[in-house]
Chain A
Amino acid sequence: MKGEIFNLFECFISESFGDETFESILDSAQPELSTQEPFIGPGTYPDQDFFSIVKAAINHTGLPLEKAAFLFGKYCFPHLGRKIPGYLNQFSHPKDFLLTLDKVIHVEVRKVFKNAEPPEFSYEDPGPNELIMIYRSKRKLYAFAEGLIQGVAEHFQTSITIQRTIIDMEEGQCIFHLKFGTSNEEDGV
């Protein structure tokens, strides 16, 4: 996993629970980490190191894993979005943006971050206010992906209701059925 995600997790924990909590989490995870150096954004580190830190975070904060992964995904989107402001601004609706995730965003991620292994997405388009995203990743970070999608919803100020169905636990395949509401701006929110 890319160091960028480790660093965002540090920021997420520090901002939500304080620097001291993060240091305690890191200290307790340390014996299980195979990486002894600090994590740097462009570096690639074992997934297991990330999961060890997350496990320690769950023990320290009491957050259930599912909720922590979702909140972390939601936290990540604005930070990752800042890396592609010009691109993101081309879209006025989350559906149009999400449809480019696999063929544009993740292609760019692979160019910039050597050895990156972002999840694969395929799509079905059942109607104008719906989108089916089929996620595939051996990491099985379904709740994290769902959090990211909610981050997209917040960015575009458009509500998205997500129905998640895991279709292949072994292969890490999951369907996200998205239903888009009206934009909050239209609602005058």
Chain B
Amino acid sequence: MNFVIEKKYERAHRKVSLLEKMIEDKTRELYLEHQKVEKSNQYLSRILQSMAGGVIVTDHTFTVVLVNGAAAIILGEESENLLGSELLDVFPVDGIAQAIEERAYHDLPSEQTELVLARNPDGRPI
């Protein structure tokens, strides 16, 4: 019986070592994947910031969460000052108000939460 317990213990001990090794490998994998995502984010951010067209991104409540350099220049404000503002306060044109009203956010398919409101500075659709 002791022999059986010994064998079980030995196997359990070896399992712990294998699991520890697996956690280390997975942690390393996760770190490398994180680096890749970070790089890709930086790349996309550089494209967005260097675009000539103004881009404002809001969340579903139309609170501004991202403003690119061109949009900040068009609006004559620092990007940081625009973050957290209501879209209509930042861009108070009739076209936007109407687009928001017509947006039917709740009618979007469940997997889609983005709505593109491409507008000229005077609010007319592009």
- Is A40 among interface residues, defined by CB-CB distance under 8 A? yes
Assess the A37–B14 pair: CB atoms within 8 A: yes
Docked complex Cα distance between A23 and B1 (Å): 11
Docked complex Cα distance between A38 and B22 (Å): 13
Per-position contact with A for B1-33: 1 when CB-CB < 8 Å, else 0?
A: 100110110011011001100100000000000
* Inter-chain contacts of A20 with B (CB < 8 A): 1, 4
Docked complex Cα distance between A173 and B33 (Å): 38
Q: How many residues of B contact A (CB 8 A)?
A: 12
Tell me the A37-55 residues at the B interface (CB within 8 Å).
37-38, 40, 42-43
CB distance from B3 to the nearest CB of A (A): 8
Per-position contact with B for A1-32: 1 when CB-CB < 8 Å, else 0?
A: 00000000000000000011001000000000
Interfacial residues, chain A to chain B (CB-CB below 8 A) = 19-20, 23, 37-38, 40, 42-43
Interfacial residues, chain B to chain A (CB-CB below 8 A) = 1, 4-5, 7-8, 11-12, 14-15, 18-19, 22
Extra contacts besides A43-B18, A43-B22 (10): CB < 8 Å: A19-B4, A20-B1, A37-B18, A38-B12, A38-B15, A38-B18, A40-B18, A40-B19, A42-B19, A42-B22
